[in-house]
Amino acid sequence: MIRTCPTCQQRNRVPAARLTDTGRCGKCQSALPPPAEPLEIEDVATFDEVVAGAKVPVVVDFWAEWCGPCKMMAPALSKAAADLASKAVVLKVNTERVPALAARYDVRAIPNLALFRDGALVRQRAGAIGHRELTDWITA
């Protein structure tokens, strides 16, 4: 996974197993904190690497730009990512850019949330939900 340093904008490769650790930028040595925002997934290989390698639960939001409920749920997803920064990884998969993943997990309605633990799908649900319900769904 490529993470951009907030200080110098250097792109750093971070192994999936280390996403929730605080690392150091390879260029300026500034702290590279765990992601506190949803991470956009652009390809199947990166998705597979993160889901299989993460030491914490991985929440995946399957969405599309034209989807009104997806846009309404985005702030709740961002807040959940910030609240759970070192306890979970939040990914966003645009179903129109990466349709293979939507097909793999039989996504027929969006927004669609999937929760993975130890590389395996634990549960999945369709429909927009608020921050509290989302956080409870992830940590249950």
The whole-number pLDDT of residue 63 equals: 98
Mean pLDDT of 104-111: 96
In this model, does residue 11 exceed pLDDT 90? yes
Mean pLDDT across the stretch 75-103? 96
Instruction: Supply the pLDDT for residue 36.
Output: 93
The string of DSSP codes covering the chain is -EEE-TTT--EEE--GGGTTS-EE-TTT--EEPPP-SPEEE-SHHHHHHHHHH-SS-EEEEEE-TT-HHHHHHHHHHHHHHHHTTTT-EEEEEETTT-HHHHHHTT--SSSEEEEEETTEEEEEEES---HHHHHHHHH-
Q: What is the dotted CATH code of the domain comprising 35-139? A: 3.40.30.10
Whether 28 sits among the annotated catalytic residues: the reply is: no
Considering the candidates 5, 8, 25, 67, report the single residue annotated as catalytic. 67
pTM metric for this prediction: 0.91
User: Is it the case that residue 108 has pLDDT exceeding 90?
Assistant: yes
Residue with structure tokens 């319900």? Answer: 133
Q: Per-residue pLDDT averaged across 84-91, rounded?
A: 94
Mean pLDDT of the chain: 95
Burial environment of residue 121 by CB neighbours within 10 A (0 to 12, 13 to 18, 19 or more): middle
What's the pLDDT score for residue 17?
A: 87
Which tens digits make up the pLDDT trace of 35-76?
999 999 999 999 999 999 999 999 999 999 999 999 999 999
Active-site residue identified among 5, 25, 28, 70: 70
Q: What's the pLDDT at 25? A: 94
Q: Note if 25 is an active site residue.
A: no
Domain locations in the chain as residue ranges:
35-139
